[in-house]
């Protein structure tokens, strides 16, 4: 049973048939046939943004929080190029989004026509795949393939470039949405190698100083429950990457916190001294390993990932397994249960207890809070860590938290405890300032009744604050917590530590807006907090019933001198961290 539809109508219909509920977009000449097709239907809702970059981050936030692809629609030329930063952000973190960019008509392509940009060419290095529609008749199967490719295997962004003539309302085609996709050149792994899986289980059970190092791939691959069960069954310590937070309960005893450049002391020390590292859905990013040649010298490495290209890219894996997290973790779980059933003392519990004792000592000596203990009784100014902790208390931890990029991002990652996956949403790979607010908006659309908070810095916030207008239009009750240090804090920290305190273009103290008044001008609620004793009352208001339906902005004026610690020492091993700022010097710990 097929109907006669125009290209523009087929595109919209295919999105409906794909189950899309929201499209984040911004119109323009080349996209107008598509916009007219959107006008004539009710099944999917188009959200009008204020900048195309924000549209891509909204789609990205939607995708990260639901696991379903987010959808973007932009016009040609500047609309398309404005979307690039968001596409690159999604690409680096393997997030499924489908970006539809309008294009000048086929006959004008290559002529430098008005608002013509070679979108397929410009986006090529930052997409999983892209399509250029040559003929309207191809639209249904291209849309079908685009969603399949975006969301399967290692997910990622897919661009569909749509020349205006292929959406002409006067040319009708038989529409039928394909039921299946057949791509001879694309077949994501469906199961891991059985022999490798067995070897991995034996190595896990033999370990005396094990660490489970889990990343965003566990969340993407829906492996959270299995990973948690497996770690619990073994009683092994777990650390998460910035992207993996929430894939193991953050408030659990076995959780060591985040690892890497600003990871916890205990997580980084455990990685360095481990004799076995089970890496799952993680990619040994340079922000994790520090100097790869000094990485975990004693450790045997099991590396499970869906993407063969991620394995042995930076650190050589002793036992590589390519496969989906759910299938391989499920199989490992079964093998571990069988092994422990037949031989309950298969794990060297004495060695494990000694290992835990070492980890606990690291935690007691230099775990988080270290900095606050160090500074207790200081100048009384508000510390960023205290603001994040107050948020955590006031929300009961039951919130989606997005963030931007900078010190505030690290404080949020360190001090908010995520007990569930898809709750912590940030740009890990590209580190895109301006991500936080639009990402939170995408999350709020997907979860209208949930608490959605955005931890931002005044620098990052100003990169996409025009979206306050979109929030007003759609009445999005997001809670924005601005850790205002009146500086590009992370840049300033590096300048303090590596450039003799020369703050080259990282401060703008006298040129900041009154954020409270700014937000109020968009009809939102805003608070300003300067002191610790006001903090809990404000957070109680913000996250309580009083402002359930309001967007609330908290402008928290924090100590501008605060640094993020621990911080990896450049070129060193994971154990090499700066732990705190001493008056006039840095306390550099070489080893313990």
Partner 1 sequence: MTHERHLLAILLENEAGALSRVVGLFAQRNYNIETLTVAPTEDTTLSRVTLTTSGDPSKVEQITKHLNRLIEVVKVIDLTEGDHIEREVMLAKVSAVGPERPEVKRTCDIFRGQIVDVSSDTYTIQLVGTTEKLDAFIRALAAGTILEVVRSGVSGIGRGGDKILSL
Which residues are catalytic, by number?
52, 114-115, 164, 490
CB 429 within 8 A of CB 459: no
CB 554 within 8 A of CB 481: yes
Q: Which does 125 bind (CB under 5 to 8 A by kind): partner 1, Mg ion, ligand TPP, none?
A: partner 1
Alpha carbons 486 and 560: distance in angstroms, whole number: 7
User: In terms of CB distance, is 173 or 515 closer to ligand TPP?
Assistant: 515
What minimum distance in Å lies between the beta carbon of 228 and ligand TPP? 31
If one asks whether residue 307 binds partner 1 (CB under 8 A), the answer comes out as yes
User: In terms of CB distance, is 144 or 154 closer to partner 1?
Assistant: 154
What minimum distance in Å lies between the beta carbon of 308 and partner 1? 5
CB 30 within 8 A of CB 100: no
Q: Which does 196 bind (CB under 5 to 8 A by kind): partner 1, ligand TPP, Mg ion, none?
A: none
With tokens 């997005």, the residue in question is 402
Which region, judged by CB under 6 A, interacts with ligand TPP, from 173-181, 225-233, 417-425, 430-438? 430-438
If one asks whether residue 426 binds ligand TPP (CB under 6 A), the answer comes out as no
Strand 452-456, strand 400-403: pairing: parallel
What minimum distance in Å lies between the beta carbon of 318 and partner 1? 15
Per-residue binding letters, 357-396, with ligand TPP (x by CB under 6 A): ----------------------------------------
Q: Which does 185 bind (CB under 5 to 8 A by kind): Mg ion, ligand TPP, partner 1, none?
A: partner 1
CA-based end-to-end distance of the chain: 72
Which two three-digit tokens encode residue 215? Answer: 């990343």
Query: Looking at 153, 155, 244, 489, which residue binds Mg ion (CB under 5 A)?
Result: 489
If one asks whether residue 297 binds partner 1 (CB under 8 A), the answer comes out as no
What minimum distance in Å lies between the beta carbon of 186 and partner 1? 5
Alpha carbons 527 and 551: distance in angstroms, whole number: 11
If one asks whether residue 487 binds ligand TPP (CB under 6 A), the answer comes out as yes
What minimum distance in Å lies between the beta carbon of 289 and partner 1? 16
Query: Looking at 52, 145, 161, 404, which residue binds ligand TPP (CB under 6 A)?
Result: 404
Residue 436, SS3 per DSSP: helix
What minimum distance in Å lies between the beta carbon of 507 and Mg ion? 9
Q: Which does 309 bind (CB under 5 to 8 A by kind): partner 1, Mg ion, ligand TPP, none?
A: partner 1
Closest CA to 457 of 560, 382, 371: 560
Closest CA to 420 of 388, 450, 457: 450
What minimum distance in Å lies between the beta carbon of 578 and ligand TPP? 17
If one asks whether residue 149 binds partner 1 (CB under 8 A), the answer comes out as yes
Which region, judged by CB under 6 A, interacts with ligand TPP, from 88-96, 346-354, 443-451, 479-487? 479-487
Residues numbered 169-228 forming contacts with partner 1, rule: CB under 8 A: 183-186
CA distances from 1 to 4, 175, 176, 181 (A): 10, 9, 8, 19
CA distances from 524 to 49, 220, 521 (A): 17, 34, 7
Query: Looking at 69, 477, 489, 566, which residue binds ligand TPP (CB under 6 A)?
Result: 489
- CB burial of 127-143 (b: ≥16 within 10 Å; e: otherwise) equals bbbbbbbeebebbbbbb
Which region, judged by CB under 6 A, interacts with ligand TPP, from 347-355, 489-497, 534-542, 545-553? 489-497
User: In terms of CB distance, is 59 or 483 closer to ligand TPP?
Assistant: 483
**Is the bond preceding residue 566 a cis peptide, omega within 30 degrees?**
yes
If one asks whether residue 144 binds partner 1 (CB under 8 A), the answer comes out as no
Alpha carbons 489 and 264: distance in angstroms, whole number: 20
If one asks whether residue 485 binds ligand TPP (CB under 6 A), the answer comes out as yes
Alpha carbons 141 and 414: distance in angstroms, whole number: 44
Q: Is the C-alpha dihedral spanning 280, 66, 431, 507 positive or negative?
A: negative
If one asks whether residue 90 binds ligand TPP (CB under 6 A), the answer comes out as no
Closest CA to 19 of 42, 39, 36, 44: 44
What minimum distance in Å lies between the beta carbon of 532 and Mg ion? 19
CB 465 within 8 A of CB 437: yes
If one asks whether residue 309 binds partner 1 (CB under 8 A), the answer comes out as yes
User: In terms of CB distance, is 60 or 404 closer to ligand TPP?
Assistant: 404
Which region, judged by CB under 8 A, interacts with partner 1, from 47-55, 166-174, 303-311, 367-375? 303-311
Which region, judged by CB under 8 A, interacts with partner 1, from 62-70, 128-136, 392-400, 465-473? 128-136
Alpha carbons 219 and 227: distance in angstroms, whole number: 10
Q: Name the maximum alpha-carbon separation found in the chain.
A: 77
Closest CA to 554 of 458, 448, 466: 458
What minimum distance in Å lies between the beta carbon of 558 and partner 1? 39
Q: Which does 491 bind (CB under 5 to 8 A by kind): partner 1, ligand TPP, Mg ion, none?
A: ligand TPP
How does DSSP assign 338-396, residue by residue?
Answer: HHHHH-TT-S-HHHHHHHHHHHHHHHHHH-TTHHHHHHTTSS-BPPHHHHHHHHHHHHT
CB 239 within 8 A of CB 266: no
User: In terms of CB distance, is 128 or 300 closer to partner 1?
Assistant: 128
How does DSSP assign 76-90, residue by residue?
Answer: STHHHHHHHHHHHHH
If one asks whether residue 430 binds partner 1 (CB under 8 A), the answer comes out as no
What minimum distance in Å lies between the beta carbon of 304 and partner 1? 16
If one asks whether residue 132 binds partner 1 (CB under 8 A), the answer comes out as yes
If one asks whether residue 485 binds Mg ion (CB under 5 A), the answer comes out as yes
How does DSSP assign 484-501, residue by residue?
Answer: E-SB-HHHHHHHHHHSTT
C-alpha Rg value of the chain to the nearest Å: 25
Which region, judged by CB under 8 A, interacts with partner 1, from 261-269, 301-309, 520-528, 557-565? 301-309
Alpha carbons 84 and 45: distance in angstroms, whole number: 23
If one asks whether residue 436 binds Mg ion (CB under 5 A), the answer comes out as no
Per-residue binding letters, 440-459, with Mg ion (x by CB under 5 A): -----------------xxx
* Contacts to Mg ion by CB under 5 A: 457-459, 485, 489
């Amino acid at each position: 049973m097929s109907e006669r539809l125009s290209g523009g109508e087929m595109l919209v219909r295919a999105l409906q048939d794909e189950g899309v509920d929201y499209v984040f977009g911004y119109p323009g000449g080349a996209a107008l046939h598509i916009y007219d097709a959107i006008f004539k239907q009710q099944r999917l809702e188009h959200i009008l943004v204020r900048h195309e970059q924000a549209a891509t981050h909204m789609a990205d936030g939607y995708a990260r929080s639901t696991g379903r692809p987010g959808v973007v629609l932009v016009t040609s030329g500047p609309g398309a190029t404005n979307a690039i930063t968001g596409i690159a952000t999604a690409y680096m973190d393997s997030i499924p989004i489908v970006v539809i960019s309008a294009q000048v008509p086929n006959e004008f392509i290559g002529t430098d026509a008005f608002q013509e940009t070679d979108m397929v060419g410009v986006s090529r290095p930052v997409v999983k795949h892209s399509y250029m529609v040559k003929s309207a008749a191809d639209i249904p199967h291209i849309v079908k393939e685009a969603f399949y490719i975006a969301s399967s295997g290692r997910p990622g962004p897919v661009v569909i470039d749509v020349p205006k003539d292929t959406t002409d309302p006067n040319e009708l085609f038989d529409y039928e949405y394909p039921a299946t996709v057949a791509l001879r050149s694309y077949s994501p792994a469906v199961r891991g190698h059985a022999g490798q899986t067995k070897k991995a289980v034996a190595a896990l059970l033999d370990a005396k100083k094990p660490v489970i190092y889990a990343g965003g791939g566990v969340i993407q691959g829906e492996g959270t429950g299995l990973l948690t069960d497996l770690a619990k069954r073994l009683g092994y310590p777990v650390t998460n990457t910035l992207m993996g937070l929430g894939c193991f309960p953050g408030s659990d005893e076995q959780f060591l916190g985040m690892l890497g450049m600003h990871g916890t002391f205990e997580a980084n020390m455990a990685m360095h001294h481990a004799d076995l590292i089970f890496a799952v859905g993680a990619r040994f990013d340079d922000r994790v390993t520090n100097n790869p040649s000094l990485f975990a010298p004693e450790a045997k490495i099991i590396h499970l990932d869906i993407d063969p290209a991620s394995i042995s890219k930076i650190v050589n894996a002793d036992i590589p397994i390519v496969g989906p997290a759910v299938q391989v973790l499920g199989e490992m779980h079964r093998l571990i249960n069988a092994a422990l059933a037949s031989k309950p003392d298969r794990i060297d519990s004495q060695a494990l207890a000694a290992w835990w004792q070492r980890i606990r000592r690291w935690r007691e000596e230099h775990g988080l809070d270290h900095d606050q203990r160090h500074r207790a009784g200081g100048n009384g100014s508000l510390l960023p860590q205290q603001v994040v902790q107050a948020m955590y208390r006031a929300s009961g931890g039951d919130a989606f938290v997005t963030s931007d990029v900078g010190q505030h991002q690290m404080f949020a990652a360190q001090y908010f405890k995520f007990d569930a996956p898809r709750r912590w949403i940030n740009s890990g790979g590209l580190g895109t300032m301006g991500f936080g607010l639009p990402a939170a908006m995408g999350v709020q659309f997907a979860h209208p009744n949930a608490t959605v908070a955005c931890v931002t810095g005044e620098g990052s916030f100003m990169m996409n604050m025009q979206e306050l207008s979109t929030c007003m239009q759609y009445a999005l009750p997001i809670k924005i917590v601005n850790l205002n240090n009146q500086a590009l804090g992370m840049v300033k920290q590096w300048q303090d530590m590596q450039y003799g305190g020369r703050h080259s273009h990282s401060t703008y103290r006298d040129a900041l807006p009154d954020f409270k008044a700014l937000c109020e001008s968009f009809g939102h609620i805003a608070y300003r907090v300067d002191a610790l004793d006001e903090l809990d009352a404000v957070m109680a208001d913000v996250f309580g019933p009083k402002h359930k339906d309001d967007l609330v902005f908290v402008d928290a004026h924090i100590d501008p001198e605060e640094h993020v610690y621990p911080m990896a020492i450049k070129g060193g091993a994971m154990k090499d961290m700066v732990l705190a700022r001493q008056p006039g010097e840095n306390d550099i710990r070489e080893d313990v």
